[in-house]
Amino acid sequence: MSDGAALLRLAGIHTHIGRYHILHGVDLAVRRGRLTMLLGRNGAGKTTTLRTIMGLWRRSAGEIDFDGRPIGDLETPDIARLGIAYVPETMGIFAQLTVRENLLLATGPQGFDEAQLEAVLALFPALREKWHNAAGSLSGGQKQMLAISRAIIEPRRLLIVDEPTKGLAPAVIQLLIDAFLRLKQSATTILLVEQNFHVARSVGDDVAVMDDGRIVHTGAMADLAADETLQRHLLGLSLASHQ
Amino acid sequence: MRPLDGLLSGDRPGGLVLSLLLLAVLLGLAFAPFLFPGTRPLGVAARICIFIVLAASYDVMLGYTGIASFAHTMFFGMGAYGVAIALSKLWAGWDAVLLGTAAGVALAALVAILIGLLSLRVRAIFFSMITLAVASFALILATELRDLTGGEDGLTFSVPRLLTPEFRLAAEPVLGARLDGRLVTYYLIFVLSLALFLLMLRVVNSPFGRVLQAIRENEFRAEALGYRTVAYRTLAGALSAAMAALAGAMMALLLRYNGPAATLSFDLMVDILLMVVIGGMGTLYGPVLGAVVLVMAEYYLQPAMAAVSGGLKGWPVLPALFDPDRWLLWLGVLFVLIVYFFPAGIVGKLREGRR
């Protein structure tokens, strides 16, 4: 996978959390306008990679460039202000605020862009019905929809999403797949961590597979989806078992 | 109802019972001099107004931002000492009142900003300890700087003539209330308190207030959205401190005296905390009810117990149990019951199921 058109580039990233050495030299390129899947077994270092990109955990070595600019030393709010939206694994909603207030947090002082708001609510119509409800009262799927909506309510240059389908019902997962496919049509650059291979195969353009804090494979998602042997080798699974 | 929404910044109390309770408090305070004539009831009503502002300003820190500070009485004291020093050392004029208030508010905001920038990055428990240390230092300072603050005796001073009992608007009482400087003082405090409360309501319902609530829920998520949480928390602290200082200035004008025990004591800090917790954190309407409950209990629980004790004369044990000297015991029981039955505070309970 050539990284010539990379919007985000990680080179030799090491991250320590306390005395634990989690990332052991991660090299990753996220290409513009593409949806890059970050796959790997539990504990491979996927979430740590995303949190390191966002500055929530500081890297101990290596370089992180966003659009050619080093961001490894920036504070999290400064990284977010570059146009990077992050949806954490825990959904990242503010439970005591309403759906409307959660979305307003991600807009500028001018409030909602009506056209953008309509586009987001068209992706997730359930949120319209819960507009004035506390986010904490939403179902798991609705919370995830809200978290993703908040990330895209303003134009973002890069959307980073951590395991959005975890623990959700199949019908909701399909909704999220449809949403990501529509986001891809708008040429949004997305880095998506996912355990569900069906989701990964449905939406991914590029793929990077992690193991033990390193990237062990990069390439086209379609190639990995077509190669069961490689899947077993890299992920310890076969596509057939995750249809 | 749009003007009401505008006045309340779109944050209606929610629920009929709560709305009626708050309306009763508003009307009770607005007409207190005529409904409850006398110096003592007027003083109690004025204290309720002041403590509403003080407790609400603490709620901006604790309830909306999630910062547990023990330095709030220090800011209250700064406002009170600002007015007290200006009126005792300069002259008893309105310009001295304004100068003292401005100095107290500015100092409170500045100290809050310094505390915030130096210590809001540390863990919550350490921040609380730092504020406790700073507040203790301020109390010692106020006691030791006798020439300026009057030491433990405090400062007694004259206020502008309009606010003195000697000033008369009319020779005859109206509806049982004497139209004198005390009445003017009360309505000055009432109007200022109402304005400051509505201003705080506006702030917590603004985009700024929304960010504070987001920070309270999850600081890291708020940072990942691009918000500099330390800056927001520091600003919230400065605003809260300025409001507390204004409440202190009003207290000084009411008492025409200020000393460490009146505005800087740790007992007062506990009272503020109880007002916010009993009323309901993170609601602003909570401190209103909390202030009413606590101030009324402090002033009227003892007389009420004396009446009960007298009524039970001849019964075994009970008269002793309701002896007025045991009022703190019953105040404690009252708090335990309120916390048990209203863990989210009175307003939290009354608003249950609203969202």
Q: Note the ipTM here.
A: 0.83
Closest partner CB to A97 (pick from B213, B220, B224): B213
Partner-chain contact B227 A77, CB within 8 Å = yes
Token output for B277: 């917790």
Q: What is the pLDDT of residues A36-92, one digit of tens each?
A: 999 998 889 999 999 999 999 999 999 999 999 999 999 999 999 999 999 988 767
Partner-chain contact A54 B224, CB within 8 Å = yes
Considering chain A, what is the average pLDDT of its residues? 89
Q: Measured between alpha carbons, how far is B243 from B245 in angstroms, rounded to an integer?
A: 5
CA distance B305 to chain A (A): 41
Q: What is the pLDDT of residues A88-106, one digit of tens each?
A: 887 678 998 999 999 999 9
Residue of A nearest to B221 (CA): A92
Flag whether pLDDT at A11 surpasses 50. Answer: yes
pTM score, two decimals? 0.87
Total CB pairs under 8 A between chain A and B:
55
B154 Rama class: left (phi>0) / alpha (psi -120 to 50) / beta: left
Task: Return the percentage of chain A with pLDDT > 90, whole number.
Answer: 57
How much is the average pLDDT of A153-178?
88
Which parts of chain B have pLDDT scores under 50? 355
Instruction: Give me the pLDDT at residue B353, please.
Output: 53
Token output for B250: 């009003």
> Which residues in B have their CB inside 8 Å of a CB on A?
207, 210-211, 213-214, 217-218, 220-229, 282, 355
Cβ atoms of B173 and B167 within 8 Å: the answer is: no
Instruction: Give contacts of B214 with chain A, Cβ < 8 Å.
Output: 94, 97, 105
How much is the average pLDDT of A173-180?
88
CB-count burial class (<10 Å; 0-12, 13-18, 19+) for B104: buried
How much is the average pLDDT of A137-148?
90
Instruction: Give contacts of A86 with chain B, Cβ < 8 Å.
Output: 224
Lowest mean pLDDT among A58-67, A191-200, A228-237: A228-237
Q: Measured between alpha carbons, how far is B153 from B156 in angstroms, rounded to an integer?
A: 9
CA distance B63 to chain A (A): 12
Instruction: Give contacts of B282 with chain A, Cβ < 8 Å.
Output: 96
Instruction: Give me the pLDDT at residue B67, please.
Output: 86
Lowest mean pLDDT among A14-23, A224-233, B152-161: A224-233
Closest partner CB to B355 (pick from A81, A88, A137): A137
Q: Measured between alpha carbons, how far is A122 from A128 in angstroms, rounded to an integer?
A: 9
Closest partner CB to B225 (pick from A56, A75, A106): A106
Flag whether pLDDT at A239 surpasses 70. Answer: no
Instruction: Give me the pLDDT at residue A237, please.
Output: 55
Instruction: Give contacts of B217 with chain A, Cβ < 8 Å.
Output: 94-97
Token output for B104: 């107290």
Decide: helix, strand or coil at residue A136.
Answer: helix
Parallel, antiparallel, or unpaired: how do β-strands A35-40 and A189-193 relate? Answer: parallel
Instruction: Give me the pLDDT at residue A94, please.
Output: 93
Range of the domain at B184: 2-354
Q: What is the dihedral of CA A140, A142, A145, A150, to 10 degrees?
A: -100
Instruction: Give me the pLDDT at residue A241, please.
Output: 43
Any idea what the CATH number is for the domain that residue B245 is in? Answer: 1.10.3470
Partner-chain contact A56 B218, CB within 8 Å = no
Partner-chain contact A86 B228, CB within 8 Å = no
Instruction: Give contacts of A58 with chain B, Cβ < 8 Å.
Output: none
Partner-chain contact B228 A75, CB within 8 Å = yes
Instruction: Give contacts of A106 with chain B, Cβ < 8 Å.
Output: 225
Partner-chain contact B223 A106, CB within 8 Å = no
Q: Measured between alpha carbons, how far is A117 from A98 in angstroms, rounded to an integer?
A: 15
Q: What is the DSSP letter of A167?
A: T
Number of separate domains in chain B: 1
Partner-chain contact B224 A92, CB within 8 Å = yes
What is the band of A242 on the pLDDT scale with cuts at 50, 70, 90?
A: very low
